[in-house]
Amino acid sequence: MSAGTSHPPAVHVVLGDEELLVERAVRDTLAAARRVDPAVDLTRLKAADLTAPYLLEMISSTLFSEGRVVVLEAAQSVSEEIGKAILDYAKAPSDGVVLVVLHSNSGGTKAGKALPAALRKAGAQITECAKITKPAEREAFVKAEIRRAGGKIDAAAVTALIDAVGSDLRELAMAASQLVADTGGTVTEEAVRRYHRGKAEVNGFAVAEKVVSGDRAAALESLRWALQIGVPHVLIADAIADAVRTIARVSAAGRGNPYSMAGELGMPPWKIRRAQSQARGWSREALAESMAIVARLNADVKGAAADPEYALERAALEIAAARSNR
Amino acid sequence: MSVWRQLVGQEPAVAVLSAAAAGEGMTHSWLFTGPPGSGRTVAARAFAAALQCESRTGCGECAHCRTVMAGTHADVRFVEPEGLSISVAEMRSLVQTAARRPSTGRWQIVIVADADRLTEGASNALLKAVEEPPARTVFLLCAPSDHPEDVMVTIRSRCRVVTLRTPPADAIARVLIERDGIDEERARWAASVCGGHVGRARRLATDEAARSRRAEVLRIPVSLRRPDDVFAFADLLITAAEADAVAESARRDEAEEAELRIAMGGDGTGRGTAGAKRAAEAAVNQLRKRQKSRATRTQRDSIDLALVDLANFYRDVLVYPTGATLTHPDHEDQIRSAAERWSPESTLRRLEAVLECREALQLNVKPRIAVEAMVTALARG
């Protein structure tokens, strides 16, 4: 995204569909073009309802060579004709006109699929804006955001911020720049905690893991958070049931290599390995008791109990009690 | 052959019903109760035939009797839910047709096979009709019992109740021999282990797969040893039930869908077929919903059958010292050794675990969770 050069390239391909990053790339290109010519105007076109002549008209130089940035959205679904027009333009761009091609890099037409590679060959600038899915990538994004806003952040503060804000990049970016402005540059975990509290994303599995680990306080806390942000009761109950039965199943099968046990138990190796380490704190008696508890909980959250939230909390407490009662 | 011959070992009920058909003690709504397999719907159907019969006796020979027993009589409507419940919409339309005058027979008759599967709304829709019935309409409801959980008290109080008993094993064996032509030894065995369920007896006598399934289930209590066994046996119960549901769907789902598409003109091509296609799609989606409900029910019924066998085994272990009649006489050895090994308390706990599991399945608990919890409890004692 370093569009600091004085002359933006004539064709700029933005690959991926992480909205925030795509918008940012477009904005950067526009800014770069405006540095050259402040009167540049921005035109947005949808590839699907575009005709080739209209596109040609938009990207040819005008009589007075006014600068222009043309953004072509959803370029993955271009027709063959328009794809060819874009390629032709990339080979012979006109002065002062910048074409930004937004391409989701998935799906689309045959011509659309071939477009990015062909444009790359023709010398277009490529910016990758793939969806951020891995936690490590998200952490790197937060760090980059803080740096961009002119601040510094440590690893603990990054984790705290993602915990509290969630995984939406737009919100993370806003929180990052706000934090830098509020703290004057150095963002510590303490500073994050001062402005952001709670957990934005807790799913049933996170709750279940806490419940079977025997940490009563953490289990109740994450359960409350999950209920607070509206995770369905049934999902939490199912996740707890699955966690308990996985441990019971794995500990019943005895010790062994997770990879060789995977086929027999019908579970992925990582799940077996985790259950093996979780099983250490469990006696057989406690597991049997917990199996009964989760079966009843399953009925409770499906209408047998007057208050499913109470049923969940009671089950979490009972499982913790069963586990510590070895 | 009289229609009453289909009812096995229910002489007292037959006496009441044939008197009513002849005109003595007739009323507009009846509730047939009795244990599963005692022939509630058979009784209702036979009674309907006797009511329509030309000689009012249920001769089994006249056109009315024969069409009622075949389920094709114009004035007898038979409601048998395949899914999990009978909806209020279904019941409303049924009440409307029930209000018509009989066209060929003496009565307009509505038989509801599983009245315990009426939803609350459906019960209320039916209640209105039962409260103020048209002059020539008769409602015949069938339910396991007249307990308020099965039939709403308001409906119950407006019905005459006919209670069927568990048919004696001798009567079941006789029917299997005479009607189904099964050899005597097997018929006696099937009658002794079926728990008074006539249909189950016939199934066990004729179907090898049903016999081996029962043997597998009854192996569970005595061979639960290693902690691993819990999951192996739970898996056995569940995969068998799932296989049943899949087999049932494979047998019927696709054919039904194809039939519906043809009926709705969904496969048409060319101009003007778009509308028909859309309508067919909507109808097919509805059908799929019904099929899914049916598959769930098949799976649950199949597990339930196994659970009843299991519960009876523990019951046998519990009562063995008293010398009462066993429900699984062919497993007497295992029952005796279990009775010696287990304390009555632990047997009772196991029995309760099985019954709890049946209840949990009714409450929509995931079968795997419920069954695994049950087998764990069985292993624990």
Summarised one tens digit per residue, pLDDT across range A23-59 is 888 888 888 888 888 888 888 888 777 788 888 888 8
Exposure of B284 by Cβ count < 10 A (0-12 exposed, 13-18 middle, 19+ buried)?
middle
Can you give the residue range of the structural domain that contains A24? 11-128
Q: Are B146 and B36 in contact (CB under 8 A)?
A: no
Q: Is the dihedral of CA A140, A146, A151, A152 positive or negative?
A: negative
Contact of B376 with chain A, judged by CB distance below 8 Å, is answered with: yes
Name the average pLDDT for chain B. 88
In the structure encoding, which two tokens stand for residue A152, read together? 């510094």
User: How many contacts does A have with B, using Cβ atoms within 8 A?
Assistant: 59
Per CB-CB distance under 8 Å, the chain A contacts of B373 are: 291-292, 294-295
Identify which of A251, A253, A295 has the shortest CB distance to residue B370.
A295
Whether residue B377 and residue A288 make contact (CB cut-off 8 A), yes or no, is: yes
DSSP A82: H
CA of A283: how far to CAs of A238, A325, B231, in Å?
22, 9, 17
- Residue for token digits 């004696």? B168
Contact, B17 vs B2, CB < 8 A? no
CATH number for position A142: 1.10.8.60
Query: CB–CB of A302 and B364 under 8 A?
Result: yes
Is residue B151 within 8 A of residue B31, CB to CB? The reply is yes
- Residue A29 within a domain: yes
Q: Chain A contacts of B366, Cβ < 8 Å?
A: 238, 241, 298
Please judge whether B227 and A284 are an interchain contact, meaning their C-beta atoms are less than 8 angstroms apart.
yes
B292-328: per-residue pLDDT in tens? 888 888 888 889 888 998 999 999 999 999 988 888 8
Give me the residues of chain A with pLDDT under 50, please.
Answer: 1-6
Cβ <8 Å between A253 and B228:
yes
Q: B363 to chain A: which residues are within 8 Å by CB?
A: 299, 302-304
**End-of-domain residue from the set A176, A196, A216:** A196
Q: Note whether B363 contacts A299, CB cutoff 8 Å.
A: yes
**Whole-angstrom Cα distance, residue B185 to residue B338?**
27
Q: Is residue A6 part of a domain?
A: no
> Are A178 and A273 within one domain?
no
Query: Would you call B205 an interface residue with chain A, using a CB distance cutoff of 8 Å?
Result: no
* C-beta of residue A238 within 8 angstroms of C-beta of residue A298: yes
- B366: closest chain A residue by CA: A298
Q: Do residues B342 and B317 make contact, with C-beta atoms less than 8 angstroms apart? A: yes
My answer on whether A155 and A258 are in the same domain is no
3-state secondary structure chain B: CCHHHHCCCCHHHHHHHHHHHCCCCCCCEEEEECCCCCCHHHHHHHHHHHHHCCCCCCCCCCHHHHHHHHCCCCCEEEECCCCCCECHHHHHHHHHHHCCCCCCCCCEEEEECCHHHECHHHHHHHHHHHHCCCCCEEEEEEECCCCCCCCCHHHHCCCEEEECCCCCHHHHHHHHHHHHCCCHHHHHHHHHHCCCCHHHHHHHHHCHHHHHHHHHHHHHHHHCCCHHHHHHHHHHHHHHHHHHHHHHHHHHHHHHHHHHHHHHCCCCCCCCCHHHHHHHHHHHHHHHHHHHHHHHHHHHHHHHHHHHHHHHHHHHHHHHHHCCCCCCHHHHHHHHHHHHHCCHHHHHHHHHHHHHHHHHHHCCCCHHHHHHHHHHHHHHC
Q: What is the CA radius of gyration of chain A?
A: 27
| Mean pLDDT (whole number) for B13-34 | 89
pLDDT greater at residue A309 or residue B270: A309
- Does the beta-carbon distance from B363 to A253 stay under 8 Å? no
Is B125:B88 a contact under the CB 8 Å cutoff?
A: yes
Asked whether residue A96 is assigned to any structural domain, the reply reads: yes
Instruction: Please tell me the total count of domains within chain A.
Output: 3
User: What is the DSSP secondary structure assignment for residue A303, as one 8-state letter?
Assistant: I
User: If DSSP codes are grouped into helix, strand and coil, which group holds residue A326?
Assistant: coil
Identify whether residues A170 and A227 lie together within a single domain: no
* Residue B258 structure tokens: 């194809």
Q: What interface predicted TM-score (ipTM) does this complex get?
A: 0.72
Closest Cα in chain A, distance from residue B368 (Å): 9
- Domain co-membership, A106 together with A210: no
Rounded to the nearest angstrom, the minimum Cα separation between A320 and chain B is 18
Whether B380 contacts chain A with CB within 8 A: yes
Q: What percent of chain B has pLDDT over 90?
A: 25
Closest of B294, B64, B127 to residue B141, by C-alpha: B127
The C-alpha atoms of residue B239 and residue B245 are separated, in whole angstroms, by 10
φ, ψ dihedrals at B172, nearest 5°: -65, -45
Q: Are residues A285 and A221 in the same domain?
A: yes
Residues A175 and A228 in one domain: no
Q: Nearest by CB to B369, from A249, A285, A298: name it.
A: A298
* pLDDT at res. A144: 87
> Is B101 near chain A, with CB under 8 Å?
no
- pLDDT tens digits for range B155-179: 999 999 999 988 888 888 988 888 8
Interchain pair B364, A303: CB under 8 A: yes
CA dist., res. A36 & res. A40, Å (int): 9
Residue A91 pLDDT: 82
Residues A179 and A95 in one domain: no
CB contact under 8 A, A288 and B372: no
**CATH assignment of the domain containing A209:** 1.20.272.10
A299 contacts on B by Cβ (under 8 Å): 360, 363-365
Cβ contact B142:B152 at 8 Å: no
CB contact under 8 A, A288 and B370: no
Partners of residue B357 in chain A, C-beta under 8 Å: 295
> In this structure, are residues B129 and B99 in contact, taking their beta carbons and an 8 Å threshold?
yes
A191 and A216 inside one domain: no
The CATH number of residue A77's host domain is: 3.40.50.300
Final residue of a domain: which of A196, A216, A245?
Answer: A196
What is the CB neighbour count within 10 angstroms for residue B185?
9
Pairwise CA distance, residues B219 & B215, whole Å? 6
Distance from CA of A283 to the nearest CA of B (A): 12
Q: Is position A265 within any domain?
A: yes
Chain B: give the shortest CA distance to residue A107, in Å: 27
At A67 the three-state DSSP class reads coil
Contact A241 B366 (CB under 8 A): yes
pLDDT at B110: 92
Q: How many other β-carbons are positioned within 10 Å of the β-carbon of residue B366? A: 20
Q: Using CB atoms and an 8 Å cut-off, which of residues 343-372 of chain B contact chain A?
A: 357, 360, 363-366, 368-370, 372
Which residue's structure tokens are 């390239």? A9
Residues of A with CB under 8 A from a CB of B: 238, 241, 245, 248-249, 251-254, 284-285, 287-288, 291-292, 294-296, 298-299, 302-304
> Has residue B132 got a pLDDT over 90?
no
Looking at A79, A110, A128, the residue that finishes a domain is A128
Query: Considering the domain boundaries, does residue A1 fall inside one?
Result: no
Asked whether residue A95 is assigned to any structural domain, the reply reads: yes
Is residue A88 located within the same domain as residue A112?
Answer: yes
Asked whether residue A313 is assigned to any structural domain, the reply reads yes
Test the B interface: residue of A245, A247, A284, A318 with most B CBs within 10 Å: A245
Residue A222 lies in a domain: yes
Out of B228, B366, B374, closest to residue A298 by CB: B366
Residues B163 and B35: their CA atoms lie apart, in Å, by: 9
A292 and A252 in a common domain: yes
Torsions phi, psi for B162 (to 5 deg): -115, 120
Mark whether A74 and A157 lie in a shared domain.
no
Which of A241, A249, A295 is facing B231, going by the closest CB pair? Answer: A249
* Pair (A254, A158) in one structural domain: no
